[in-house]
Amino acid sequence: MKKILLYLSVIIICSLSSNIRSFGQTTITIGAQTTQSGTSGISPYNYAWESRRVQFVYTQSEIIAAGGFSGAISAIAWDVSEINGGNLVNYEVRLAHTSSTDASAHNAAGLTTVKSAHTLTPGSTGWRTITFDSNFNWNGTDNLLVDVCWGVNAGYGYNGQVYMYNNVANQTRGIANVSANQCGVSTTTTRTYKPRVQLTITAACNFPVATITKTCSADFSSYSLEVVVTDLGDASGVDITDGTTTYQNNVGLGTYTISGLTSNKTISVQDDADPTCKDSEVFTVCDVCTDNPSLPEDECVDGPLIDLSQPFAGSTNCSYTVSAGSPSVCGQSIDNDSWMTFIAGSTDVEMDYTIGDCSNDDGVQLAVFSGNCGSLSNIVGSCVSPTGELTTGTWTFSGLTIGNTYYIRIDGYAGDLCDYDFEPVSGVVITPPNDLCADATALICGDSDIASNILATATDAPTACSGGGTTSAGVWYTFTGAGSEVTISTDNANTNFDTDINIFSGSCGSLTCVGGDTDSGTGTTSSYTFTATNTVTYYIYVDGNGVAEGQFEISLTCATCNANAGSWD
């Protein structure tokens, strides 16, 4: 028997070309309006000290993630929340490449003056843009050091603030004085947060253009990247690299795959002859709590329907709380429960589970309920508590009603934090992948498939053939004839409702009836036998008699020989 189980990993599409659009000027924004700098706090815009020098660093990954790229930086802007009470005189901006990731020490890198000493007037709130006298050519690889100084002002006042972000130590450092210019003095004092900023960048070349698709593995432990290079720009060939590993060297237009990634990567598509002519995109490791579209929900009423056309993995480490009205059953004490639902395709359900590493080595506890949220009844025999960590097991429970919705509760035992995944083996209805004729599941002689029509849509249900009843919601199969006698049947152990089958030749949208059956099998199962013409493609539609729905097992059996001996003298 062939079980056809589907796994579709999470797919996230990122376009490198979206960072470029045209090869002109782009303004990027780094940081959020997390907090204000304070009326006397260290920042690049403040009137509390007559002279001040300030340093801070924007990392390469921050710039790339904001849509930046290697090129000429021609302006910088602060997000002003409160204006200064007076002018900042001899205001100067200097930039440098650096390997430092923060401002934990004074940075003595070779600075380039991009805005010479001038008077910075108070201006207004909002973005205050400072256009450079000369551009700074950022290489797209190093971090960016910003060094700002001014002084000596004619006065002072406790005003002038900008928005800042990143509440981490050593983000900004400075030094101040009331009477002496500090532009040549090393900074000494640090603070949390650094300024929210805008950078205006102009591409230095006609970059390569690519679209990258990120695909998480079914258990979210790794990911792959599909890189589609659609435009070489100025390059005759491009490299695909993360700065350490070059995955493709001097390649042209086409599709390239990077597999088995388990750490954050900055992927660059760059001119093979000029590595500075590139565009880059940051990719992070897959997170089951944020990347999984079918993640269980905190409350019963929000529990998603299990669907094997999507990843079915989760974690008790996704900030779950005790859900409202969670029933007390099987002696389970609830700490961080979450919920999902499924539709029964059989009276018996079997699931395989895998529990990963857990914070307390206890594992998870499981239970299944019928009824409705707020009025739930535990399914006898469905409780598992606890599983333990790093374990696999088979979970079975019975006494279900076909077509009814049931609720699964997953809770970390004593609040344990664990990753897990389930694989429904039987009895759980999935959205049929072969709901449409064009998506018919292929069978060959000897195959069988366990499926259901419960979530089928009847979108392109055909007109029934003679003997095939009246078609309703069903699913499609296809096979190619080999000149032998074939039997198509739902008269198999896993069929649990009244089925119809109809067989056609031709093509989707232009089908010709071959025959059909309702109840020629045992009980209300169906079976149809005919001689299939060699190389002809046939289509099978399986549905319920009238509105009947449930689980079925279809089989395709072929006679081993259909030779006609003829007449012998």
Last-in-domain residue among 370, 395, 426: 426
Range 299-313 average pLDDT? 80
**In whole angstroms, how far apart are CA 463 and each of 84, 113, 453, 526?**
78, 78, 17, 17
Judge whether 315 lies within some domain: yes
H or E element that contains 61: helix 60-65
Do 89 and 167 belong to one domain? Answer: yes
Judge whether 520 lies within some domain: yes
Which residues make beta-bridge pairs with 112? 95
pLDDT digits (tens, 9 = 90+) for 102-112: 999 999 889 99
pLDDT digits (tens, 9 = 90+) for 512-540: 999 999 999 999 999 999 999 999 999 99
Are 53 and 110 in contact, with CB atoms under 8 Å apart? no
pLDDT digits (tens, 9 = 90+) for 424-449: 888 888 889 999 999 999 999 999 99
Residue 227: which CATH number? 2.60.40
Do 217 and 185 belong to one domain? Answer: no
Are 237 and 277 in contact, with CB atoms under 8 Å apart? no
Range 238-260 average pLDDT? 96
The mean pLDDT of the chain is 90
Please report, rounded to a whole number, the percentage of residues in the chain having pLDDT higher than 90. 78
pLDDT digits (tens, 9 = 90+) for 14-40: 334 333 333 457 899 999 999 999 999
Per-residue pLDDT, 442: 97
Evaluate the omega torsion of the peptide bond into residue 386 and state whether it is cis, within 30 degrees of 0: yes
**In whole angstroms, how far apart are CA 438 and each of 193, 460, 462, 477, 499?**
56, 10, 13, 10, 22
Judge whether 569 lies within some domain: no
Do 46 and 103 belong to one domain? Answer: yes
Judge whether 289 lies within some domain: no
Do 461 and 322 belong to one domain? Answer: no
Per-residue pLDDT, 14: 39
Do 268 and 313 belong to one domain? Answer: no
Q: Six-digit token pair at 154?
A: 């004619």
Do 313 and 277 belong to one domain? Answer: no
Last-in-domain residue among 221, 251, 283: 283
Do 420 and 302 belong to one domain? Answer: yes
Do 476 and 537 belong to one domain? Answer: yes
Range 295-319 average pLDDT? 86
Q: Six-digit token pair at 540?
A: 């099978």
Residue 99: which CATH number? 2.60.120
Judge whether 455 lies within some domain: yes
Query: Number of folded domains in the chain?
Result: 4
Do 180 and 40 belong to one domain? Answer: yes
Range 371-385 average pLDDT? 94
Last-in-domain residue among 394, 426, 458: 426
pLDDT digits (tens, 9 = 90+) for 345-372: 889 999 899 999 899 999 999 999 999 9
Do 75 and 192 belong to one domain? Answer: yes
Q: Six-digit token pair at 157?
A: 């006042």
Q: Six-digit token pair at 198?
A: 């805008």
Judge whether 219 lies within some domain: yes
- Cα Rg of the chain, angstroms: 33
Do 513 and 388 belong to one domain? Answer: no
Judge whether 5 lies within some domain: no
Judge whether 508 lies within some domain: yes
The residue segments making up the domain with residue 267 are: 11-16+206-283
Per-residue pLDDT, 181: 96
Residue 481: which CATH number? 2.60.120.380
* Residue 547 CB neighbours (<10 A): 9
pLDDT digits (tens, 9 = 90+) for 117-171: 999 999 999 999 999 998 999 988 899 999 999 999 999 999 999 999 999 999 9
Do 314 and 387 belong to one domain? Answer: yes
Closest CA to 113 of 153, 145, 158: 145
Per-residue pLDDT, 12: 42
Question: Strand 418-426's sheet: what is its strand order?
Answer: 313-315, 418-426, 349-358, 391-397
pLDDT digits (tens, 9 = 90+) for 141-156: 899 999 999 999 999 9
Three-state secondary structure call for residue 546:
coil
pTM tops 0.85: no
